[in-house]
Each structure stands twice: as C-alpha cells, then as structure tokens.
Amino acid sequence: MGAKYFDPKRHTVAVIGLGYVGLPLIVEFAATGFKGIGVDIDASKVESVNSGVSYIPDVPTDDVKRLVKSGKLRATTDFSEVAKADAIVICVPTPLRKTKEPDISHILASCDEIAKHVKRGQLIILESTTYPGTTDEVILPVFERSGMKVGRDFYLAFSPERVDPGNKQYLTKNICKIVGGVTPECTKRAVELYGYAVENVLPTSNARVAETAKLLENTYRSVNIALVNELAQMCRYLGIDVWEVINAAATKPFGYQAFYPGPGIGGHCIPLDPYYLTWKARVSGYEAKFIALAGEINSNMPHYVITLISDALNEHAKCVKGARILILGVAYKKNVSDTRESPAIEIIECLRAKGAKISYSDPFVPTLDVAGVKHKSVKLDTRVLANADCVVIIANHDGFDYKQIGEHAKLIVDTRNAMNAVRKPKGKVVKL
C-alpha cells in the first residue's frame, strides 16, 4: 500500500497511556518506522521506557531497548509533545463506578489535554473501551470547540483494543483491527495508519459500530462463561463432573464452542464491558436483562468458591476461622501478572473476614495489597503445602508443580480443573 496520508519515514505517532494496550501498540508503530512518542502520567513507566526496559510481559525488553536506542521510541509525561504527532491514539483505562456506571473521566482528561495542543490535519483515535456514542457525542465536541471541523481540519475515529495478555499466538500485530471513523474520510485515514502496524484492518460504517462490536465480543464471553458457571453449580447438585460434560460436548465439530467455569471473571474487559453496554441501553430506554443476569452469575462465583472451601474444610472437621488457607495464583488468569478484577482478591478478603489465615503463591505477582493488607508470595514447596489446611487453585499457572501439590497438600479446592492431569493425588481434591 503506497503512502497517501502517512509516511513512516516522516511521520510521528503518539500513544496516550502506556499500559497493556498502549505500550505494545507504540512499539509496533515504532518498529514499522514511525517516530513513536508514548505519553503517560506515570513517571515510572516513562522512565522504564526511556531506559529501554519493558514492564509488559508481552513486549520484549530487547525490542524497547532497540527502538529507544535508534531514536524511534521515547516516552514523556508532557502532553504538549502530542503537538509533534501526526496521529494520536488514546489508550487510557475506562473503569466502572461503584454504581456499575461507566467512568470515562480518563478519556475526557486526556482529550482535554490533547485539545490544548491539537493541530490541523491530525488524526485522533480512541482505543479505550467505552459505550456506543462516546466518540460522536462526548469526544467530538471537545475537539470542535476550537472551531475546527471534523473530516476537514482534523480526523477522529474509534478502534477498539483487542489484546489478550499472555496470549503468545495472537499479539497486537496479528489481531484484526476494527476501525470506525466519525466521517468516511476519518475512517479512511485511520485504516491506512493501522495498516502499517497490523496485518489486517476492517473498516466499519461508523464509530458506533466499532464501539458496539468491542462490547459484543466481551459480552459474548461473559454470557457463555455465566452459562458454564451456572452449569457447574447445577452439576454439583446432580453429582455430575462438569469438566467431563464440557469436554464431551466439545467433540461436536459444529454449533458449539467450549467455555469453562472458574472462580470468577477478571481482567479489565469481561467484568466491565457488558455493563458499558447495558448502561447505554438503559439510558436509551431498553433493559438488557439477559446480559445483566450473566453478570450477576459471574460476580457470585467468588462466594460460591468460598462455600466450597468452607464445606471442604467442614468435611475435614475444620472451620474457616483459624484455618491455614494457601491460595495458588492471584492473577486473573494463568501465566500473567495482571490482578485487575481478579476473583482471588475478593476470595482472600472474604476468607480473612471469616478469620482464616491466608497465604498465597504466585510466581508472577510477588506482592499483593488486599483491602490495605499487604501480602507477599511464598515459595511453593513441600513444607508450605503440607502446612496448609486447604490449598485453593485460583490461577492455574503452568509453573506450578501439580504432581507435588497432589502429593503434599491435604485438601485441594481446584477451581480450574488443574489437578485433572495428576493421576492419583494423595490429598483430597474438590473440583468446582
């Protein structure tokens, strides 16, 4: 594709927010030839990037070091640097308020800062997950205050992030990019820009379609996870192994996709995105009951796990109060260090409130703060396992020795079916 609007040899891309989404993205743009400017309010991240060190497991430090050394990548806390960019991509967090309503304050704060330095001809793209209409209704007015016209003086689009931390097969470069502009010209320019950094780009008719597509992806996962989470609870009453049921159903080569139960959903996407969609539907006069029910089932799973732990201890003539409980894995999923919305945090907090003595082991998370109490990961060995009244597997990291766990733990509550590979564990295993 010949350069029409952008030339990697001459143009600069700025990325606002250098987290799990922003850092991989700016590295891809810089690797393609663009000058990359990363902007973040966290000075430690900026210092790390400028030192050539990656703090995101999916981004090799060698790549960051090479790009910084070549002058293709640098980071700053100074928003005025966006004036030097030809394209600006916003990758900031979009959490939920306690009321389960969207919190787009980080987006608005970033846009307000960018608007102070925006120049004619710039392309601005939002990647942060948000509700349908945000780009048109909220962001566009911020940039039109200056009197500039979208599609003529500046260009605005939405392109949802689709990263999957810890996934070694699908990374920023080979995940299809969805792009929806406020005008056709905005879409055209955004499609071209991403075409340099990623392998496939899909244009949509407008920004609202792109915004909703992202929410559908994770709502689909939330609903299907809720289905198997409810099935797991039902199968327990029926005396059926839910894991065997799912594996049997998965042999059907069409019309079925396997999802698996767990201790609760975590990460930044699945626990939050469906609420962005249901909130927008509600304020528009429609109640999305099915999606809301899925969220209710998933959010209850940590409490269901606590019930399993309590019942398992009771069968061993022990109560939760005073029990030594060892949590294995506090990240929200296997082989990552991300603890955002991790069910382990709620489980630990509830067990502590019931008087349990909690310890945890996670090779990816050396320390963890739960409700103001700092915990430190313990080294998993035979002594630690034997000393625990109950071992609870929350994140089934590949680095755990499950054979060792089966031989030395007296009681295991397995929420991930991790012990299935151990032939004859000596300790009792209670599966989700």
pLDDT in tens, the chain (432 residues): 445 899 999 999 999 999 999 999 999 999 999 999 999 999 999 999 999 999 998 899 999 999 999 999 999 999 999 999 999 999 999 999 888 899 999 999 999 999 999 999 999 999 999 999 999 999 999 999 989 999 999 999 999 999 888 888 999 999 999 999 999 999 999 999 999 999 999 999 999 999 999 999 999 999 999 999 999 999 999 999 999 999 999 999 999 999 999 999 998 888 899 999 999 999 999 999 999 999 999 999 999 999 999 999 999 999 999 999 999 999 999 999 999 999 999 999 999 999 999 999 999 999 999 988 999 999 999 999 999 999 999 999 999 999 999 999 999 999 999 999 898 888 899 999
Token match 């608005």: residue?
108
Q: Are 391 and 397 in contact (CB under 8 A)?
A: no
Burial of 361 (0-12, 13-18, 19+ CB in 10 A): buried
User: What CA–CA distances, in Å, run from 418 to 202, 279, 393, 403?
Assistant: 38, 36, 8, 10
Q: Are 324 and 385 in contact (CB under 8 A)?
A: no
d(CA 29, CA 24): 9
269 is annotated as an active-site residue: yes
- Kindly report the pTM of this predicted structure: 0.92
Rounded CA-CA distance 310/123 in Å is 55
Tell me the C-alpha to C-alpha distance, in Å, between residue 306 and each of 129, 240, 286, 327, 415: 31, 20, 35, 12, 11
Tell me, what's the pLDDT at 4? 85
Q: What is the pLDDT of residue 168?
A: 87
Domains of the chain: 12-205 (3.40.50.720), 273-431 (3.40.50.720)
Predicted local distance difference test score (pLDDT) of residue 427: 82
Rounded Cα distance between 80 and 219, Å, is 37
The dihedral through the CA atoms of 349, 167, 229, 308 has a sign that is: negative
The pLDDT score that the predictor gives to residue 1 is: 45
- Burial class of residue 10, CB neighbours in 10 A (0-12, 13-18, 19+): exposed
CA torsion through residues 258, 261, 267, 272, sign: positive
**Four-point Cα dihedral 150, 273, 284, 157, nearest 10:** 10
The active-site residue out of 235, 269, 319, 350 is 269
Residue 376: which H helix or E strand, with range?
strand 373-376
Place of tokens 């398992």: 312
| Helix pair 61-69, 22-32: axis angle to 10 deg | 50
Residue 16 in 3-state DSSP?
A: strand
Strand 324-328 relative to strand 390-393, pairing: parallel
For position 424, what pLDDT does the model report? Answer: 86
How many CB atoms are located within 10 Å of the residue 50 CB?
15
Give the neighbor-by-neighbor strand order of the sheet with 357-361.
Answer: 357-361, 324-328, 390-393, 411-414, 428-431
pLDDT at position 166: 84
One-letter identity of residue 414: D
Please tell me the predicted confidence (pLDDT) of residue 3: 52
The DSSP secondary structure of 288-351, one letter per residue, reads -HHHHHHHHHHHHHHHHHHHHHHHHHHHTT--STT-EEEEE--SSSTT----TT-HHHHHHHHH
